[in-house]
Amino acid sequence: MLVVVAPGQGAQTPGFLTPWLELPGLADRLGAWSEVAGIDLIAYGTTADADEIRDTAVAQPLLVAAALASAEALGPALDGAPDVLAGHSVGEFAAAALAGVLTPEQALILVRERAQAMAKAAAITATGMTAVLGGVEDEVLAAIERHGLTPANINGAGQIVAGGTTEQLAAFKDDAPARARLIPLSVAGAFHTHHMAPAVESLREAARAIVPGDPRVTLLSNSDGKPVATGAEFVERLVKQVSSPVRWDACAETMATLGVTTMIELLPGGTLTGLARRGLRGVQTVALKTPDDLDAARELIK
């Protein structure tokens, strides 16, 4: 059983799109999507530096476009192949497009609104996110709560991401949970926390103009890791997820229950397959990082 997954914010690196532009038609596709997204996807994916692509208003449409472009690059091999689709945070929009809930253009329109609204919300208060690796989960969650932070991403495999104000994160750093390693993340705000509440209504307003389709394959939600039956429900979850924690651990548990045996992570891959290698033992994985990974992904589909 094959699951195709799309990564979230933080997966982007400077120049990661450069080798993909050599593939026939991909530059034209990204050029057309740039008009929809309202940013130059090609420039940001090739020549922009780390600070430029860290900007929420840039990172989110760039990641969704990259995931969709890499899915197209797989060609006919991917048509009808995934048994399950899932995305991490903004990656859910790419998953929704591949599942038929949204068109690629609709996904990018909504992501454009989401990214701009979240960037505005992030500017209200100085906030950030810190990854917590290791430690005892209950102790980690207790420490996060003690400092007024939110467990914004519960990723499984011993990884939880805390979000909150810079002052709260600084105090958390000085009172780290036992046997845990803290890594500040290069993101522009405390995503999936109450700090993003102002962005929810903006995205909901944009979503009202969209008539979604129902998913063609099993499509998992970050809210609780469960499959969602209708497109309308999935879009509503996309809206609410802006200020709600991402439960990737629950998505992984559902994958295990469904009997997933193989995973392909779309561009820029590596993060979610890394979690799978630790949390979904025995599952074969391929992460799309460069076009050289396409053949391995096609073989895995076979």
CATH number at residue 227: 3.40.366.10
Our count of domains for the chain comes to 2
pLDDT of residue 113: 97
Do 101 and 156 have their domain in common?
A: no
Give the pLDDT confidence score for residue 23 in this predicted structure. Answer: 97
Q: What is the pLDDT of residue 186?
A: 79
Question: Would you state the pLDDT for residue 120?
Answer: 94
List C-alpha distances in Å: 262 to 94, 123, 227, 256, 293: 19, 40, 18, 11, 15
218 with 172, same domain: the answer is: no
Nearest to 88 by CA among 283, 299, 287, 300: 287
Does the annotation mark 195 as catalytic? no
How much is the pLDDT for 159?
95
Give me the pLDDT at residue 302, please: 85
Contact in structure between 153 and 205 (CB atoms under 8 Å): no
Distances (CA, A) of 55 to 10, 31, 44, 48, 182: 10, 20, 11, 11, 22
pLDDT for residue 297: 97
SS3 percent helix, strand, coil of the chain, rounded to 5, is 50, 15, 30
User: Both 168 and 112 in a single domain?
Assistant: no
Q: Considering 89, 202, 243, 244, which one is annotated as catalytic?
A: 89
Clarify whether residues 50 and 68 are in a common domain. yes
Contact 243, 199 (CB under 8 A): yes
3-class state of residue 64 by DSSP: helix
Based on the domain organization, do 44 and 172 belong to the same domain? Answer: no
- Which H or E run contains 151? strand 150-156
Q: How many CA atoms lie within 13 A of 107 on its CB side?
A: 30
145 and 118 together in one domain: no
Query: Of residues 34, 192, 202, 223, which has the active-site annotation?
Result: 192
Encoded tokens for 43: 């420039």
Tell me, yes or no, if 192 is annotated catalytic.
yes
Give the end of a domain, one of 132, 165, 184.
Answer: 184
Write out residues in the chain with pLDDT < 50, as ranges: none
Say what the pLDDT of residue 79 is.
86
Domain end point (choices 184, 208, 235): 184
| Structure-block tokens of residue 167 | 């002052």
- Domain region containing 10: 2-122+193-301
Residue type, 301: I
H or E, element range at 159: strand 159-165
Does the pTM exceed 0.75? yes
Task: Indicate whether 167 and 260 sit together in one domain.
Answer: no
